[in-house]
Amino acid sequence: MEKIRVVEVGPRDGFQNICDFIPTEVKLEAIHKLTAAGVRDIMVTSFVSPKAIAQMRDAREVAETCVKRWPHVRCSALVPNLRGALNAMEAGLRELTVVISVSASHNQANIHQTHAQSYENLERILKECPQAAVTVDLATTFGCPFEGYIRLDQVRDMVRTLYGMGIRSFDLCDTIGAAHPGQVKEYVEAMLREFPEADFGVHIHDTRNMGMVNTLTAIQCGITTVQAAAGGLGGCPFAPGASGNTSSEDMIYMLNAMGYDTGIQFDKMLEAALYIHAHVNGNYSGHQINVKQ
């Protein structure tokens, strides 16, 4: 049985798109239920400015609690800059994710940076947080809401630059759900072939109903790390038309049924998704929480 590492990003990518503040204890109870299902990789929060995303104003408390309460779980957080990275490290996290969009216009819209500024920002984080394991999420790898199709050579160039800076962990992100299985196959195979020393994961949105098929295609090409969000929550506040992430419970149901080893129990994962569905008012693209309701 091939092991697949399913990284739960609901508490970050799902919750950050919810307008009403989710009480910290609800966030933690959701994370508790995820860990009880066997999830061992969770992006628990974002260390962003509370002015930019008020939902994440309890990032420190969430991260500190997670690190203490679930030491066997790999907890990570998104950090937009050095300050966020330092705060995440102070909260006890050692896995940080930095987002850079392959599309220059989306990078500007999303984090108000040119590519050069993003590289500089990343350099600072790498220098000041030497104990951190830094992953770069390559937003808009497959398509951009402003520029459309993103070419493979644009992705390759950015990976090469980041590789030169020492980054060995990447997620190929379909931020707006623009990819199709043929493109996923092409891009994933190229990355695995050209950067054999790096780790690649995928982060796929389900906008055009291809979340499951694109993620499975990536796995069939050799990817073993996939991101998903309980309930299929998510989106991107700066990507018009993007809908939720691939639903974790639907993904886990499929992978378990196919004989992959996710280490996650579907029934308990569904419980976690149903808990979130009952306590967090948002858009859910996961099918099975809707069927069961």
Q: Which residues bind a second copy (CB under 8 A)?
A: 180-183, 206-213, 216, 241, 243, 247, 250, 253-254, 257-259, 285-288, 290-291
Sequence-distant (6+) residues with CB within 8 A of 221 are 184, 185, 188, 189, 192
Give 181 or 263: the residue with its C-beta nearer to a second copy. Answer: 181
Give 158 or 251: the residue with its C-beta nearer to a second copy. Answer: 251
What length does the chain have?
A: 293
Angle at alpha carbon of residue 256, lines to 222 and 283, rounded to 5°: 90
| Both tokens assigned to 44 | 């628990």
Give 53 or 213: the residue with its C-beta nearer to a second copy. Answer: 213
Shortest distance, CB of residue 165 to a second copy, whole angstroms?
A: 33
Shortest distance, CB of residue 234 to a second copy, whole angstroms?
A: 14
DSSP 80-119: SSHHHHHHHHHTT--EEEEEEESSHHHHHHHHS--HHHHH
Q: What is the helix (H) or strand (E) element at residue 77, kind and residue range?
A: strand 74-78
- Respond yes or no: is residue 236 known to be catalytic: yes
Shortest distance, CB of residue 292 to a second copy, whole angstroms?
A: 9
Strands 143-144 and 148-149: antiparallel
Angle at alpha carbon of residue 135, lines to 49 and 137, rounded to 5°: 70
Report the 10 Å Cβ neighbour count for 293: 9
Give 46 or 285: the residue with its C-beta nearer to a second copy. Answer: 285
Shortest distance, CB of residue 215 to a second copy, whole angstroms?
A: 9
In the set 129, 144, 173, 236, the catalytic residue is: 236
Handedness of CA 168, 98, 227, 3 (dihedral sign): positive
3-state SS of 146-215 is CCEECCHHHHHHHHHHHHHCCCCEEEEEECCCCCCHHHHHHHHHHHHHHCCCCEEEEEEECCCCCHHHHH
Shortest distance, CB of residue 45 to a second copy, whole angstroms?
A: 26
Give 63 or 184: the residue with its C-beta nearer to a second copy. Answer: 184
* Catalytic residue IDs: 236
